[in-house]
Each structure stands twice: as C-alpha cells, then as structure tokens.
Amino acid sequence: GAVVSQHPSRVICKSGTSVKIECRSLDFQATTMFWYRQFPKKSLMLMATSNEGSKATYEQGVEKDKFLINHASLTLSTLTVTSAHPEDSSFYICSADSAGQGKGGNTIYFGEGSWLTVV
Amino acid sequence: GNSVTQMEGPVTLSEEAFLTINCTYTATGYPSLFWYVQYPGEGLQLLLKATKADDKGSNKGFEATYRKETTSFHLEKGSVQVSDSAVYFCALSDQNYGQNFVFGPGTRLSVLP
C-alpha cells in the first residue's frame, strides 16, 4: 500500500484564494520531503526541498512567498499556494525520504499527486 | 489504470560494469516514458526520455529504447562509475487520459570502486 499519502488528489479553487496540499509519510519519519510541479507537456520540476524543523530550500525561479512550504513534523509537509492564479493550475507531487528508517532498498517514496485547477 | 514495474534493488556493481535496470509499463494510451535519477540528498533529475515507439533516449552514457511491442523501457549503461550511485525511477506520462506521472518504485544503484 501507499506509504506516502498526498491530499487532496484534485482541487478546484477560485482565483485569489489559497489552497493547501498535504504530504504525509504513513509508516516512517521523513526528515526530508520534496515538492515537484509538472508544467503542461513537460517533465517534473523540483520546486523545493522541505526539511523538518527548518526553512525549505527553494529552487531558482520558485517564489517562496507564493508557494509556502511547512514541514512541521516528521510525517507531514504542506504546500500552500497563496493567492492562486490560473497559471498556477498544475500537477503537484511530493516525495519523502525514508533514509535511516529501516525500510531498506529504495528510500524515496512518492505521493499520488494533486491536480490543482484555479478558475 | 496505468502502472510502471521496475526491477527491485538494491543493485550493487563494480566500477566499469555493465548496467541494466528493467522497466515495463501498462498504459491505456500512448505514453511518454522517462528515467529520473535522484542522487543522495538531492531532488529528482530527468535523465532521459522517449515520446514514441522505437525512440531511444540517451544522456550521460545511459540509454533506453521505447519498446511498444514489449511495453518496456530498460535503462542501460556500458560502464558505470562510482558517481552513478543513486536511485533510478522509471516513469510514464499519459496526459491524453487525464493521468499524469506514474512512477515505478525506484531502483537503488551502488557502484563500488
């Protein structure tokens, strides 16, 4: 079963409002989570690296005041798109690193992704 | 629904060995296929991609060919280096069916000097 849960899977919001997307590691503690975005007909783009208990590290060109990331606990990271606009409509996906948690093998797990539509 | 199956790791090789990581997919449409790599402590990076049958993606000595008849996209490299140690993800994107990226579980590669 899924070990990283992302919610909501689909959300529609009005332009100018804010929307929050949650990424939860279900059976391990993730000190590091990653947030990605997919632009139309393109590959995933890393937006930021979320570190528990500290500020996220944003990639160049990503507006940190618009895409707020909070990693308040070892099992939860949230991405809030503030003052959303139609151009923010996209597919957002998170991944969590379970390194050191005894899960062995591959230590990176992906959420299911979230479709955001801003109208 | 769409899915990606990837060989389980971890895979441990000696430097200069030949690498193959198998990937097969199930899709209702005609997806694009990707290999992503994640180095320790970093986010995902696109390694290579192929958008239609018989296309070959290549980058940094890695290659993968889109085989529609076998629904496969196996990753190969003729001579691995220690710096290739990472987790490799096979993925597909089938936007025509409203579904975006589907990732395989990832394969961890360790290359020993």
Question: How far apart, in Å, are the Cα atoms of B11 and each of B25, B48, B59, B69, B111?
Answer: 20, 20, 20, 27, 8
CB contact under 8 A, B44 and A44: yes
Residue B82: count of CB within 10 angstroms of its CB:
11
pLDDT tens profile A33-86: 889 997 765 567 889 988 888 889 998 899 999 999 999 899 999 999 999 999
Structure confidence at residue B7 (pLDDT): 86
Helices within chain A (DSSP H only):
none
- Range of weakest confidence among A72-76, A77-81, B5-9, B102-106: B102-106
Min distance B40 CA to chain A CA atoms (Å): 10
Q: Where are the beta strands (DSSP E) in A1-119?
A: 4-7, 10-13, 19-25, 32-38, 44-51, 57-58, 67-73, 76-81, 90-97, 108-110, 114-118
Contact A65, A51 (CB under 8 A): no
pLDDT at B99 over 60: no
* Residues forming a β-bridge with B35: B48, B90
Residue B13: CB partners within 8 Å, gap ≥ 6?
B19, B80, B109, B110, B111, B112
Rounded to whole angstroms, the Cα distance separating B4 from B93 reads: 10
Rounded to whole angstroms, the Cα distance separating A32 from B9 reads: 21
Residue A96: pLDDT band with limits 50, 70, 90? confident
Q: Which tokens go with B41?
A: 């402590």
pLDDT tens profile B46-67: 899 998 999 999 999 999 999 9
Residue A2: pLDDT band with limits 50, 70, 90? low
Nearest CA in chain B to A43: B46
Rounded to whole angstroms, the Cα distance separating B107 from A34 reads: 18
DSSP 3-state of A88:
helix
CB-based contact, A115 to chain B, within 8 Å: yes
Rounded to whole angstroms, the Cα distance separating B18 from B13 reads: 8
CB contact under 8 A, A106 and B105: yes
Rounded to whole angstroms, the Cα distance separating A70 from A59 reads: 16
Min distance B43 CA to chain A CA atoms (Å): 6
pLDDT at A106 over 70: no
pLDDT at B97 over 80: no
Interface of B with A (CB under 8 A): 8-10, 34, 36, 38, 41, 43-44, 46, 49, 87, 89, 93, 95, 100-101, 103, 105-108
pLDDT at A107 over 60: yes
- Range of weakest confidence among A109-113, B21-25, B79-83: A109-113
Cα A62 to chain centroid distance, Å, stands at: 13
